[in-house]
Amino acid sequence: MTVVRLSEVGRVHDEGAAAVHALRGVNLEAAAGELVAVMGPSGSGKSTLLNLAGGLDLATTGTVLVEGQDLAGVKDLAALRRRSVGYVFQDLNLIPSLTAVENVMLPRELDGVRSGQARAEALAVLAEVGMEHMAERFPEEVSGGQRQRVAIARALVGERRLLLADEPTGALDTRTGDEILQILRARADAGAAVLLVTHEPRYAAWADRVVFLRDGQVADSTDTPLESAR
Ligand code: ADP
Ligand code: MG
């Protein structure tokens, strides 16, 4: 089942002489169970692509479907994001005054889930990322790699079907980066569609498919993982 589908998607930032064509005519889809790596040079449109796929930004042309819904017609995009889309940003933006478990519970509580239930779900997903024992710690009380795992737990909670990760291993050492990839891979294997932006072939090797962007266009796409790096 296709979870996200971009058809002939374009995104132009600014207008007139200042217009920047961040994406042009992009076609891309990810099915349940699939981990798709998006690679390409800086400025090639990778983050724009993820923002459009997650409804954080809207396409100028073309259509973006998430679980069959055209995002252009969705009235409450924030609600759709909370329910269907998990987003792991490069900067973690955990809320410093909330504990790990409170950070992870937050999207569920915003969605109207009662706090006992939200806490149970949050603890389960923290266990999945190996952070159960740190549930009551504040973000500044854990390491960078552990913070990233909490941020991933927050993106996973609520069984969201589309997971978007923009260079989630950016500032992490190799071992922690591998752990993050294992979590993303496991989620895909459990039925989520995962889009992973990375510039590291080492991490792209975990993907089922690699899409290369250049100047806002899909330059190449391969079904063959870069096996040698795995
Ligand atoms: P990447 O993530 O591959 O580095 P981006 O998607 O961030 O690329 O950016 C693609 C292009 O769009 C770049 O030329 C960038 O400068 C431009 N761009 C991105 N966001 C904006 C914005 N909000 N306003 C104007 N230009 C933008
Ligand atoms: Mg980027």
Residue 230 located in a structural domain: no
Local confidence band at 108 (pLDDT 50, 70, 90 cut-offs)? very high
Q: One-letter amino acid identity for 140?
A: E
Q: Which atom of ligand 1 sits closest to the CA of residue 23?
A: 10
Residue 11 main-chain phi, psi, to 5 deg: -140, 120
Q: Determine the structural domain holding residue 26 and report its residue range.
A: 2-222
Residue 155 located in a structural domain: yes
Question: How remote is the CA of residue 114 from the centroid of ligand 2, in Å?
Answer: 35
Asked if residue 167 has pLDDT above 70, the reply is: yes
3-state secondary structure 129-198: CCCHHHCCCCHHHCCHHHHHHHHHHHHHCCCCCEEEEECCCCCCCHHHHHHHHHHHHHHHHCCCEEEEEC
Residue that wins the pLDDT comparison between 31 and 158: 31
Residue 193 located in a structural domain: yes
Asked if residue 76 has pLDDT above 80, the reply is: yes
When divided into structural domains, the chain yields a total of: 1
C-beta separation of 38 from 216 below 8 A: no
pLDDT given for residue 90 in this prediction: 64
Residue 229 located in a structural domain: no
Q: Which atom of ligand 1 sits closest to the CA of residue 41?
A: 3
Ligand 1 site, residue 15, Cβ cutoff 6 A? no
Residue that wins the pLDDT comparison between 59 and 230: 59
Residue 192 located in a structural domain: yes
Question: How remote is the CA of residue 43 from the centroid of ligand 1, in Å?
Answer: 6
pLDDT given for residue 145 in this prediction: 84
Q: What is the CATH number of the domain that holds 84?
A: 3.40.50.300
Q: pLDDT tens across 194-215, in order?
A: 999 998 888 999 999 999 999 9
Average predicted confidence (pLDDT) for the chain: 91
Q: Residues 6 or more apart from 166 whose CB is under 8 A from it? A: 46, 47, 50, 87, 88, 89, 90, 197
Residue 153 located in a structural domain: yes
Asked if residue 54 has pLDDT above 90, the reply is: yes
Residue 147 located in a structural domain: yes
pLDDT-above-90 percentage for the chain: 68
C-beta separation of 153 from 159 below 8 A: no
Q: CA-CA distance, 123 to 130, in Å (whole number)?
A: 10
Q: CA-CA distance, 176 to 157, in Å (whole number)?
A: 21
If we measure between CA atoms, which residue out of 22, 5, 172, 202 comes closest to residue 88?
Answer: 172
